[in-house]
Amino acid sequence: MEKDLTRKKPLIQLSGQEPPKLLAVGIQTSEVSDDQMDASIVELAELVKTAGGRIVGNLVQKRNKLERNSYLGKGKMTEAAEMAARLEAVQIIADNELSGLQIRRMEEGINVPVIDRTRVILEIFAQHATTREGKLQVELANLHYALVRLTGAYEGLSRQRGGIGAKGPGEMKIETDRRVLKFRIQKLDEELKKMVQNREVQRQKRSERYAPLFSLVGYTNAGKSTLLNALSGSEIATFDGLFTTLDPTARKVLLPGGRSAIVSDTVGFIRKLPHGLVKAFRATLENVLQSQVIVLVSDVSSLDARDRITAVEEVLRQIGVLEHEKVMVFNKIDLVPDCEFEALKASYPDSIFISARTGANLPALIERMDSIISRDFTKVELALPVGSPLVHEILAMSQPSNQTWEGDLVKMKVELPKKFLPQVEPFLVSAQ
């Protein structure tokens, strides 16, 4: 039977009715402010809650930098052990991604199972993945995570070297496991690539190929799915928790001038987003790569909105779209009084403040989207044969301002994407 190399450590253990108790530990390095540290720990508690556990206490150590060998210093380790015992914590969770060695050292020092931030994020993704593509991506992310932790996990073994120049049993074991993991990663990569290509082909109904594409991106829980629902009248699942949406969903949105656009929802981002996860979700983020405009959605009621924007921009940079045209949207204005977001308005002068839930100021966003895409459209007058498949395609992209039937011809005045013009060239009566 194939061994599952990605499941070595227990995750948050769900047992009985009560959520399991966890003790959070974190390192505050010199460049992290107290507020930023607090925000990170509060977020870690949210992550744990979403995954089904409960943080019962936290312990933060100030250090100049993250130490490679031992996450917590000796003194803090003792303190953590006492605290865990007192609070009856069954697991320790670290606020950073840990190496195999760091986890092992901490488990030896505290005698309580240790997991890290990345592991919980991966667990939530695993719980929320519904489609085959989503599940494969989560598996891929888990494999990346396991791959870099092989060394630490077998460190004890690798010290028992064989004869001079011979490989010890640990090293051989690591090599075999590494090969197995790499092989599986390659297989999954290929399978995911094929899925994206298939999706492309399916998406290639022409109206979708020519329609302008907007991508909603932003921090998890910012309200991206709620916004897409409000714009398109659809019913994508939304939830007050982290990483509700994993699969890309695209919807057509009709804009007031008769033009339409495709708007896609994406997986939410978070600070310290594991690199392996970004890599694994590259396929899903393809939509973002292809979109003309990125709508960066932020939660105006979050206390650290700016830091969150920075975290989102970091991911956008990693996938190479930071320079794409952007619309900054601050959502949830129904939750805070106007005076509280004056400063954000000043820092992000072209931003739009809305409430996806109440619909407040949504017209301003729609207008902005419409004005952006108006550049790519042009007014034409067409005379098409009745029953031509082109008529259907055109109507899927734009509402004609005028449409008449003369004999076996449909005459219409309509705004079409400029890219689509070659398709209707033979039927053009006039163009602007």
Give me the residues that bind ligand GTP (CB under 6 A), please. 218, 220-226, 238-240, 242-245, 268, 331-332, 334-335, 355-357
| Nearest distance in Å: CB 331, ligand GTP | 5
Cα Dmax for the chain: 93
- Residue 335 binding: pick among ligand GTP, Mg ion, none (C-beta 5-8 Å cut-off by kind): ligand GTP
CA 109 to chain centroid, in Å, comes to: 35
Does 302 bind Mg ion (CB under 5 A)? Our answer is no
Shortest separation between residue 269's beta carbon and ligand GTP, angstroms: 8
In the list 6, 225, 232, 287, the residue contacting Mg ion (rule: CB under 5 A) is 225
- What is the number of the residue whose Cβ is closest to ligand GTP? 268
356 binds, among Mg ion, ligand GTP, none (CB under 5 to 8 A by kind): ligand GTP
User: Which CB sits closer to ligand GTP, 220 or 260?
Assistant: 220
**Distance between CA atoms of residues 150 and 147, nearest Å:** 6
Residue 83 or 273 having the CB closest to Mg ion: 273
* Cα-based angle 248, 14, 47 (whole degrees, multiple of 5): 45
Alpha carbons 426 and 102: distance in angstroms, whole number = 68
Out of Mg ion, ligand GTP, none, what residue 220 binds, judged by CB under 5 to 8 A for its kind, is ligand GTP
| Tokens found for residue 117 | 């931030």
Distance CA 170, CA 151 (A): 9
When the beta carbons of 234 and 378 are compared against ligand GTP, the nearer one is 234
x/- mask, Mg ion, residues 51-90, rule CB under 5 A, reads: ----------------------------------------
Q: What SS3 class is residue 36?
A: helix
Asked if 377 and 365 touch (Cβ cutoff 8 Å), the reply is no
Q: Which one of 245, 264, 291, 398 is in contact with Mg ion (CB under 5 A)?
A: 245
Task: Sort residue 346 into left (φ over 0), alpha (ψ -120 to 50) or beta.
Answer: alpha
Written as six digits, the tokens of 395 are: 């109507």
Instruction: Kindly state the helix (H) or strand (E) to which residue 384 belongs, with its residue range.
Output: strand 377-385
Give the one entry of ligand GTP, Mg ion, none that residue 332 binds, where binding means its C-beta sits below a cut-off of 5 to 8 angstroms depending on kind. Answer: ligand GTP
- Beta strands of 117-187 (E only): which ranges? none
Residues 102, 137, 142, 244: which binds Mg ion (CB under 5 A)?
244
- Indicate the residue whose CB is closest to Mg ion: 245
Of the candidate spans 68-76, 109-117, 239-247, 303-311, the one that interacts with Mg ion by CB under 5 A turns out to be 239-247
Q: What is the dihedral of CA 66, 69, 72, 73, to 10 degrees?
A: -110
CB 299 → ligand GTP: shortest distance, Å? 7
Phi-psi category of 52—alpha, beta or left, where left has phi over 0 and alpha has psi -120 to 50?
left
Name the nearest CA neighbour of 374 among 264, 259, 290, 295: 259
- Cβ nearer to Mg ion, comparing 37 with 354: 354
Query: Which residue ranges make up the site for Mg ion (CB under 5 A)?
Result: 225, 244-245
